Amino acid sequence: MFISTDFLATKYGVHDTIANFFVEREPPENNLYWKDKLLYLRPEPGFLFIPIMVDALNKLGIAREVLLSDKYINLVEQIGHIAALEETAQINYEQAIEQCIALTKQDAKNKNFYASLTDYMQGGTNHFFQSLLLPFSALHRGDIFLFSVTILDFDDEKAKEIVKYWFAIIGSFLMLDDANDLESDKKTGELNSFLQSGLDKDGIEQIKNLLGDMLATLKTFNKPLARAIDNQFVKMAELPHIQQYLNY
């Protein structure tokens, strides 16, 4: 499926300029995240979240010219390459975090945010992320990309908003992905928020409540995005392998 500017703008509420930038962008060379990809964007969470998150940062007041600059976009792409190296077991998690720190430590703007992020990503608990974390670790498997925002200029209050929006966007996309992959993840043991819920009455109720909370957050800054994700969850709920659990 070809992702168009109109598709991103209409369905996901992405500003036309941001949407067009990513639709026209060529996949970076020698980057494992985009290996063998002919188009920059694909109809998958790991690619759609990039323009959607950039748009969210813009809605939070960060200038488009900064977010679409070579410096920022190249950093996002470099982190994508590191994430792909970890996913394919060419490096481990600790090495991935070390590489991201090496990429960003000289240019980090908000030192409090940077200290909290590095502590969080290294398994510490001395950070403000603690109160914002989602209940399932499976929904945090894209958090390495948070290193990309460290080179942006914002204050401590804005940092909390960024993380809250980030977790709502990535969390909802990953939950959709987990719903689709539920049966295969059961067999492979891959991280999956539905499996982590226990798939019992209490766990499914927790999933429903979390989804409601994430959609409520999305509505505060991007109603088309919230509507699109809500509609996808409605369709997901009709799948036989999901419906059996929702009937608790």
pLDDT at 128: 92
Note whether 218 and 169 are within 8 A (CB).
yes
Note whether 140 and 196 are within 8 A (CB).
no
Mean pLDDT of 129-145: 94
Prediction pTM value: 0.93
Say yes or no to pLDDT of 199 above 60.
yes
Q: How far apart are CA 139 and CA 136, in angstroms?
A: 6
For the stretch 78-100, pLDDT in tens is 999 999 999 999 999 999 999 99
pLDDT at 116: 95
Mean pLDDT of 104-125: 95
Please identify which residue in the block is written with the tokens 């804005």.
158
Percentage of the residues of the chain whose pLDDT score is greater than 70: 98
pLDDT at 1: 66
- Least confident window among 107-116, 198-207, 237-246: 237-246
Instruction: Give the mean pLDDT of the chain.
Output: 94
End-to-end Cα, the chain, rounded Å: 35
Mean pLDDT of 181-195: 93
Say yes or no to pLDDT of 248 above 70.
no
Grade residue 188 by pLDDT with cuts at 50, 70 and 90.
Answer: very high
For the stretch 28-82, pLDDT in tens is 999 999 999 999 999 988 999 999 999 999 999 999 999 999 999 999 999 999 9
Percentage of the residues of the chain whose pLDDT score is greater than 90: 85
Grade residue 244 by pLDDT with cuts at 50, 70 and 90.
Answer: confident
